[in-house]
A and B are shown apart, each in its own frame.
Chain A
Amino acid sequence: MTETVAILVSMILAAAPLLFAALGELITEKSGVLNLGVEGMMLAGAVTGFAVTASGHDPWLGVIAAAAAGAAVAAIFGVLTLLLLANQVATGLALTMFGIGLSALVGKPFVGIPLEKLPALPIPLLGRIPFFGPLLFQHDGMIYLAVLLTLGVHLFLTRTRAGLIVRAVGENHDAAHALGYPVRLIRFGCVLFGGALAGLGGAYLSLAYTPMWAQNMTAGRGWIALALVVFATWKPWRVLAGALLFGGFTMAQLHAQGLGLAVPPEFLAMLPYLATMLVLVAISRDATRIRLNAPACIGKLFHPDD
Chain B
Amino acid sequence: MNDKDRTALEGVTPRLCLKGITKQFPGCRANDGVDLSLLPGEIHALLGENGAGKSTLVKIIYGILHADEGEMLWEGKAVSVDNPAAARALGIGMVFQHFSLFDSLTVAENIALGLDRPGRMAALPARIVEVSERYGLPLDPARPVHNLSVGERQRVEIVRSLLGEPRLLIMDEPTSVLTPQEVERLFVTLRQLAAEGRTILYISHKLEEIRALCDRATVLRGGRVAASCDPRVTSARDMAEMMIGSELTTPDRRAETLAEGEALLQVSGLFTTSDDPFATNIKGASLSVRAGEIVGIAGVAGNGQTELLSALSGEVPLPKPEMVSICGTPAGHLGPRARRRLGLAFVPEERLGRGAVPDMTLADNALLSGYGSGGLVRRGLVRFGRTKRHADRIIERFGVAARGHGSQARSLSGGNLQKFIIGREIMQKPRLLIVAQPTWGVDAGAAAAIHQALIDMARNGAAVLVISQDLDELFALSDRIAVIHGGRLSEAVPAADSSIERIGLLMGGVFDNGKTEADHAPA
Contacts and interface: CB of A to CB of B under 8 A. Distances in A.
A261 interface: no
Nearest to B101: A175
B334 interface: no
A161 B96 contact: no
A158 to B, nearest CB: 11
B275 A164 contact: no
B156 to A, nearest CB: 12
A56 to B, nearest CB: 49
B102 A168 contact: yes
Contacts of B278: 291
B14 interface: no
A140 interface: no
Nearest to B160: A179
Nearest to B109: A164
A291 B276 CA distance: 7
Interface string A50-69: 00000000000000000000
A288 B273 CA distance: 12
A288 B105 contact: no
B114 interface: yes
B85 A178 contact: no
Interface string B92-107: 0000100111111100
A172 B276 contact: no
A288 B118 contact: no
Contacts, number: 52
Nearest to B118: A161
Contact of A164 (B83, B99, B100, B105): B105
Contacts of A168: 102, 105, 109, 113
Contacts of A176: 100, 102, 113
B51 interface: no
A296 B103 contact: yes
Contacts of B276: 288, 291
A125 interface: no
A293 to B, nearest CB: 9
A161 B118 CA distance: 10
A92 to B, nearest CB: 23
A167 B102 CA distance: 9
B104 A171 contact: yes
A292 interface: yes
Given A172-B102, A296-B104, A291 B275 contact: yes
B99 to A, nearest CB: 7
Contacts of B112: 161, 164
Main secondary structure of the interface of A (DSSP, over half): helix
B151 interface: no
B121 interface: yes
A168 B109 CA distance: 9
A180 B116 CA distance: 10
Contacts of B96: 178
A175 B103 CA distance: 11
Contacts of B113: 164-165, 168, 176, 179, 181
A175 B278 CA distance: 18
A58 B103 CA distance: 48
Interface in A247-302: 287-288, 291-292, 296
A287 B105 contact: no
Given A165-B113, A291-B277, A171 B85 contact: no
Contacts of A161: 112, 118, 121
B275 A175 contact: no
B414 interface: no
Interface in B366-421: none
Contacts of B114: 179
A180 B84 contact: yes
A170 to B, nearest CB: 9
B275 A287 contact: yes
A-B residue pairs, 9 tightest by C-beta:
A175-B100, A287-B275, A178-B100, A171-B102, A168-B102, A172-B102, A288-B275, A292-B277, A288-B277
Interface of B: 83-85, 96, 99-105, 109, 112-114, 118, 121, 275-278
Given A174-B100, A176-B100, A292-B277, 7 more contacts: A165-B113, A167-B102, A168-B109, A168-B113, A178-B96, A287-B275, A288-B276
29 contacts: A161-B112, A161-B118, A164-B105, A164-B112, A164-B113, A167-B102, A167-B105, A168-B102, A168-B109, A168-B113, A171-B102, A171-B103, A172-B100, A172-B103, A174-B100, A175-B99, A175-B100, A175-B102, A176-B102, A178-B96, A179-B113, A179-B114, A180-B83, A287-B275, A288-B275, A288-B276, A291-B276, A292-B277, A296-B103
